[in-house]
Amino acid sequence: MSAFTLRGPRVLDEAGGFRGPLDIRVVNGRIDRLAADLPVDPEFPDQDYAGTYLLPGIFDVHVHAMTNSADAMELLRTPITYRVAETLAALKRTLLAGVTSIRDAGGLDAGIRDALARGLAEGPQAQVSVVALSQTGGHGDGFLAGPGWEMSNEYMTPDYPGRPAGVVDGVDEVRRAVRQNVRAGADWIKLLVTGGVMSAGDGQFDEQFSPEEIAVAVSEATRRAVPVMAHALGGPALRTAVEAGVRSIEHGLWLTEEDAALMAEKGTYLVPTLTIYRQLADAALLGALPGAVATRAKAAGDVLGEAVRIALAAGVPIALGSDFAHRNDHGHNLREIPLLHRAGLSPEQALLAATVNGARLCGVDGDVGRLVEGQRFDAVVLEQDPGDLSLFERPEGVSGVFQNGRAVKTRS
Ligand SMILES: [Zn+2]
């Protein structure tokens, strides 16, 4: 049996404020008792956490752990085994940053998820969508015009045995792709229903997949009790996806008040992924992005944060997602927290978006995501009150991380 008592931290409560000082007794990875002044008991050795602030482990519900570069030539030249090794390193950095749970939005498969769950590698608990589904010529189509090669799922992961194809057209192919992903162990189906900043083509954020294709994907996934997440920047396809019953809208930059009202009514989450658009817009202003990508990145930068204000006003639940897909970014996921605050969430709302809201979106809030008795003890330790949340801009702001009651990052 593993058992200990943390003495004296202040603990994030369900309203997003800090309560305490309290004592937390952890037994076999779960919170057994949470109260002020628990009696001293040698069976549960004390650890001094006076003066610290404790959050539940962070949920990053939009990440691409399997991708570590945006350089297409590099990705095409890299063996898949090297990619897996680099992915495991990225997952470990992500965990040490305080992210104890992720939802991967395309790339990570059930093999890595299960290896993490069984302790073969250190990383967050993962839910995976395996391959994001795109139409031909859509956001996920990496067609190489020179050699005329089909490249499904862009270059994020190469095709490999057992992994379904991600570029599909028509109701029948979409239905089959959903079934193949579920067979491959997908916890989520990811649909790309509009273009994106990094799309290969010249188009703007156009509608992708027909309403019939979106509807069949959602109904087929729903029959298998698998939820759907939709990459949608705005416009009619975002609306169609919400109406069809997707559980979350990813990005949603051009969300309208009408969209937000419908999302609130249906309980659809918004995952705004602000950090990545801030980075892309900054890179575009520095001239570091090519033609159409730069134009789209600047357009995204101009509206960044507006969707969050619209969603917040309408009562749409918001969860944290970084959309990180690069070796320089994995492990800096908590930067999204201060950006959510700057976009209009109070510090309390931003901390809840980063924790319990992600757990609710992932359907695991009965087990993890809150610091209350009975929950698994995934937690982040801060040495000071996070205040305006700017301490999350640096990974060093997090001084300790617990996963399943085990200190994976120990306070120095
Ligand atoms: Zn993404």
Residue pLDDT, tens place only, 198-224:
776 666 678 999 999 999 999 999 999
282 is catalytic: no
CA dist 397 and 382 (Å) reads 7
Are the CB atoms for 411 and 382 separated by under 8 Å?
no
Taking 70 as the pLDDT cut, the residues of the chain under it are 153-154, 200-204
Q: Tell how far the Cα of 106 is from the centroid of ligand 1, in angstroms.
A: 7
Q: Looking at residue 66, what DSSP letter applies?
A: T
Does the annotation mark 323 as catalytic? yes
pLDDT for residue 118: 97
The sheet carrying 269-271 orders its strands as: 189-192, 228-234, 248-254, 269-271
Tell me, in angstroms, the distance from the centre of ligand 1 to residue 291's CA.
21
User: Could you tell me the distance, in angstroms and rounded to a whole number, from the CA of residue 322 to the centre of ligand 1?
Assistant: 8
Residue-wise pLDDT for 343-399, tens only, equals 999 999 999 999 999 999 999 999 999 999 999 999 999 999 999 899 999 888 999
Residue 203 CA to residue 74 CA, distance in Å, equals 25
What pLDDT is stored for residue 206 in this prediction? 85
- Given the residues 323, 329, 378, 409, select the one marked as catalytic: 323
Domains in the chain, please, with CATH?
3-55+371-409 (2.30.40.10), 58-361 (3.20.20.140)
pLDDT of residue 202: 60
Ligand 1 centre from 109 Cα, in Å? 15
Going from the Cα of 336 to the center of ligand 1, the distance in angstroms, rounded, reads 14
pLDDT of residue 291: 83
Q: How far is CA 122 from CA 27, 107, 168, 310, in A?
A: 21, 18, 34, 38
Residue among 32, 187, 190, 378 flagged as catalytic? 190
